[in-house]
């Protein structure tokens, strides 16, 4: 799934995001029209933990892992506002951008420019 970081990020760009407060977001999928709930929690330096109630998110989150799916990436783009979020499947690729980085877990790092 690491290789799919960019693919997931591109997919996430079409989703509709609403801020529900308290680090909760509602994400409406551009492909299925389904509504998902994403929860974000920043911790440590340049790291963030996210959860999502989509099928993938439920599967990985229930195993105590940080969730990265197109819904989570849509929220990252929402939080970045006018800036552009790119998703990378390796820390090295992300570092090469020389931009602010955020480690989301699952081997995915985003950069903001």
Residue ranges that bind Zn ion, judged by CB under 5 A: 52, 54, 57, 69, 71
Q: Which is nearer to Zn ion, 40 or 80 (CB)?
A: 40
State the minimum distance, in angstroms, from the CB of residue 57 to Zn ion: 4
Distances (CA, A) of 59 to 1, 51, 52, 92: 14, 10, 10, 27
User: To the nearest whole angstrom, how small is the minimum distance from the Cβ of residue 29 to Zn ion?
Assistant: 9
- Calculate the CA 44 to chain-centre distance: 17
CB 56 → Zn ion: shortest distance, Å?
6
| CA 19 – CA 96 distance, rounded (Å) | 31
What region, left, alpha or beta, does residue 25 occupy, with left being phi > 0 and alpha being psi -120 to 50 degrees? beta
CB atoms within 10 A of CB 43: 8
Nearest residue (CB) to Zn ion, 17 versus 57: 57
Q: DSSP 3-state helix, strand, coil percentages of the chain (rounded to 5)?
A: 30, 35, 35
Least CB distance from residue 32 to Zn ion, whole Å? 11
């Amino acid at each position: 799934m690491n290789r799919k970081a960019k693919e997931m990020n591109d997919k996430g760009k079409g989703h509709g995001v609403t801020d529900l407060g308290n680090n909760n977001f509602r994400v409406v999928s551009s492909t299925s029209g389904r509504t998902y709930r994403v929860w974000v929690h920043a911790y440590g330096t340049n790291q963030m933990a996210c959860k999502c109630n989509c099928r993938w998110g439920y599967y990985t989150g229930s195993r105590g892992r940080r969730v990265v799916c197109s819904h989570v990436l849509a929220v990252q783009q929402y939080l970045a506002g006018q800036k552009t979020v790119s998703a990378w499947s390796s820390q090295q690729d992300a570092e090469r951008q020389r931009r602010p980085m955020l480690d989301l877990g699952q081997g995915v790092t985003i950069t903001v420019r």
